[in-house]
Amino acid sequence: MSSATITQIRPVVALLTDFGMADGYVGVMKGVIAGIIPNVQLIDITHEVPPQRIATGARILANSYRYFPAQTVFICVVDPGVGSSRGAIALHAGEWFFVGPDNGLFSAILAEETIHSVVELSNPAYHLPAVSSTFHGRDVFAPGAAHLAATGGAILTQLGPARDPSSLAQLSTMQVTRQGSRIAGQIVHVDAFGNLITNIPLHMVPELFSAAQVQITFPEQGVSVNKRRQFFAEGAEPAQPFIYGDSSQYIAIAVYNGNAARTLGVGYGTAFTYEEEL
């Protein structure tokens, strides 16, 4: 066995939660994982999902997972129903594994990837010895994910009984429909720079940059945006909001060296209309 082969053996576990980093909860989950699989590569996606906002967690996961190596195990915990009867699941979808509550967090995965199998995490052999009613991230999801990572997913069917993929929770807010030249959309994410990410994927608007005119109107705020930019710094006018294609492949709005959310008075969940004139 060559050293090259050996150094490849670093299974990735990626974490996405709404726990914040202040209280040590994420560190405890990682301690549990490292105890089961010492050579794990732990990667934080985010722990700053706004508390219990499942749709934001689902969106960030959707924008991230494709960039991780095959076999990565994602632990996702935005879990307002912890301790209730909501399911705890592990998914093998596309080239990856996903572990978390069955509450819609995995909507994009279910919509976009081939689902190979889904199980309910009910086998206590893969839980911590004492399972609390409030911290399944530590007691159920962390050990389940660690055992999956340690075995390249081979353990999946032993974690619990199979679930029918069509029975899993899905978020309706991830759907958007076009009616001729109009689309009704909403802001689904405001990033740290104040950029406004919409729920309209770029593949729905192939004419975004070629149409004679494009306009996004926020009726409640009484503002609209019609400048378009393919590059942030192109013809940069300070304080001037513009439409662009975000790196996550959705329509977005920014202000060069500024904050579009503040400039437009627009935030998470704001509805708008997209119109184009060919």
Assess 121 for contact with its own copies (CB under 8 A): no
Tell me which long-range contacts 206-211 makes (C-beta under 8 A, separation of at least 24).
207/276, 207/278, 208/243, 208/245, 208/251, 208/276, 211/276, 211/277, 211/278
Binding mask 135-154 for its own copies (x = CB under 8 A): x--xx---------------
Asked if 234 interacts with its own copies (CB under 8 A), we say: yes
Map tokens 């974690």 to a residue.
159
Question: Structure tokens of 271?
Answer: 């509805």
- The C-alpha angle 109, 175, 51, rounded to 5 degrees, equals 65
**Contact between 269 and its own copies per CB under 8 A:** no
Helix ranges (DSSP H) in 166-227 = none
d(CA 54, CA 105): 6
Contact between 129 and its own copies per CB under 8 A: no
Residue whose CB is less far from its own copies, 56 or 270:
56
- Per CB under 8 A, does 164 bind its own copies? no
Between the CA of residue 141 and those of 123, 136, 152, 188, 237, what are the distances in Å? 12, 6, 16, 27, 47
Q: Which is nearer to its own copies, 7 or 172 (CB)?
A: 7
Instruction: Tell me which residues in 37-96 interact with its own copies (CB under 8 A).
Output: 38-49, 51-52, 60-61, 63-64, 67-69, 72, 80-84, 86
Binding of residue 186 to its own copies (CB under 8 A): no
| Smallest distance, its own copies to C-beta of residue 177, A | 26
Is there binding between residue 167 and its own copies (CB under 8 A)?
no
Does 237 bind its own copies (CB under 8 A)? Our answer is no
**Alpha-carbon span 259 to 101, nearest angstrom:** 34
Q: Which stretch binds its own copies (CB under 8 A): 99-107, 128-136, 152-160, 210-218?
A: 128-136
**Nearest distance in Å: CB 31, its own copies:** 4
At 8 the three-state DSSP class reads helix
Nearest residue (CB) to its own copies, 71 versus 217: 71
Binding span for its own copies by CB under 8 A among 113-121, 178-186, 207-215, 242-250:
242-250
Q: Is the dihedral of CA 23, 51, 249, 224 positive or negative?
A: negative
